[in-house]
Amino acid sequence: MLKKSFWMALLLCLSISPVRAQTVEQTLFGDIEKALDQARAQYTNLYAPRNYDRAVAEYRGAVEDFKANKNLNVVRERVKRADGYLKTAAQNVVISRSLFAGVMAARQDALQANAPEFAKEAYEAASRRFTEAATSVEDGNIEVAKRRGAEAEEMFKKAELSAIQASIVGNVRKLLEYAANLKADNYAPRTAASARSLLAEAERQITSNRYDRNVAREKAEQAEYQAQIAIYLARLLPTLDADAKKREDFILAVQDSIGRVSEEIGFPVRFDQGFEAALSTLRLAARNLRQESQGLSRNLAAKARESADRAAEIDRLRRELAVLKGQKEELAVKEAAQAQALADKEAFERKIKGIEGLFFEDEGTVTRQGDNLIMSLHGLTFKSGSAQLSPQNILLLAKVQTAIRDFPDAPVEVGGHTDSAGNDDYNQVLSERRAQAVREFLLKSLNLPEGQITAVGYGETKPVGKNETEEGRAQNRRIDIVMTLKP
- Domain edges within the chain: 2-99, 360-484
**Position 274 pLDDT exceeds 70:** no
Listed in sequence order, the residues at least 6 apart from 417 whose beta carbon sits closer than 8 Å to its beta carbon are 431, 458, 459, 460, 462, 463, 464, 476, 477, 478, 479, 480
pLDDT band of residue 139 (cuts 50, 70, 90) is: very high
Average pLDDT, the chain: 85
**Position 358 pLDDT exceeds 80:** yes
Contact yes or no for 378/364 (Cβ under 8 A): yes
* pTM > 0.85: no
Local structure of 188: helix, strand or coil: coil
Query: Which letter does DSSP use for residue 66 in this model?
Result: H
Per-residue pLDDT tens over the stretch 114-137: 899 889 999 999 999 999 999 999
pLDDT band of residue 170 (cuts 50, 70, 90) is: confident
Q: Which pLDDT score is estimated for 35?
A: 92
Contact yes or no for 421/474 (Cβ under 8 A): no
Contact yes or no for 359/365 (Cβ under 8 A): yes
Query: In angstroms, rounded to a whole number, what is the distance separating the alpha carbons of residues 85 and 81?
Result: 6
Please tell me the class of the 360-484 domain: alpha beta
Query: In angstroms, rounded to a whole number, what is the distance separating the alpha carbons of residues 15 and 24?
Result: 13
Residue bearing the bigger pLDDT, 368 or 245: 368
Query: In angstroms, rounded to a whole number, what is the distance separating the alpha carbons of residues 124 and 250?
Result: 51
Listed in sequence order, the residues at least 6 apart from 82 whose beta carbon sits closer than 8 Å to its beta carbon are 32, 36, 54, 55, 56, 58, 59, 62
